[in-house]
Amino acid sequence: MGFIPELFPERFRHKRWAERWTGSGFLGTLLALALGWSIQPRGMWGLPLLLAATALAVWLSGTAESSLGNKDDHRIVVDEIVGYFWTIAYLPAGGWAVYLAAFALFRAFDTYKIPSRGIQNLPGGWGVMMDDVLSGITANLILHAALALRG
């Protein structure tokens, strides 16, 4: 995924931005958006599903991080997928508008690490996953509040 910045014309690329941004988090969340339309964590099995997916993703991302040799390597996108699922957990079926708002909020919180900056320092897969889980939970709470205010 490191080639994504190279697809943009030179005048739209900033050297530091192109070195840092690979697009893999965006694309991983885009995949989660498509999957989230059919896999909606709610009901009696919603929380156990999220916890099991998170546990599996912690193990997978820790293993991948060890194999790739980089802390939170950009090629690991399971964290974006599970984080987005935390974002849409128990949201009422509201059509694409709700899922796109969830996408935008999750990407903003995950990109800027608003509620979760220091948590990435946790070891192994925990550091890879927990910032995304926290970003997803934060976005989820905001979406629930906005939907409640909307009535």
Both structure tokens of 107: 């990407």
Residue span of the structural domain in which 94 resides: 22-150
Contacts of 109 (CB under 8 A, 6+ apart): 115, 116, 135, 136, 138, 139
Is residue 28 a part of any domain in this protein? yes
Q: What predicted TM-score, i.e. pTM, was given to this entire model?
A: 0.84
Counted domains in the chain: 1
In a domain, 14, yes or no: no
Q: In Å, how far from its chain's centre is CA 18?
A: 20
**Among 130, 5, 25, CA closest to 74:** 25
Could you report the per-residue pLDDT of 135-146, keeping only the tens digit for each? Answer: 999 999 999 999
Q: Which amino acid is it at 80?
A: E
- Dump pLDDT digits (tens) for 54-70: 999 999 999 999 998 88
Question: Is residue 5 in a domain?
Answer: no
d(CA 79, CA 25): 9
Q: Are 79 and 134 in contact (CB under 8 A)?
A: no
In a domain, residue 144? The reply is: yes
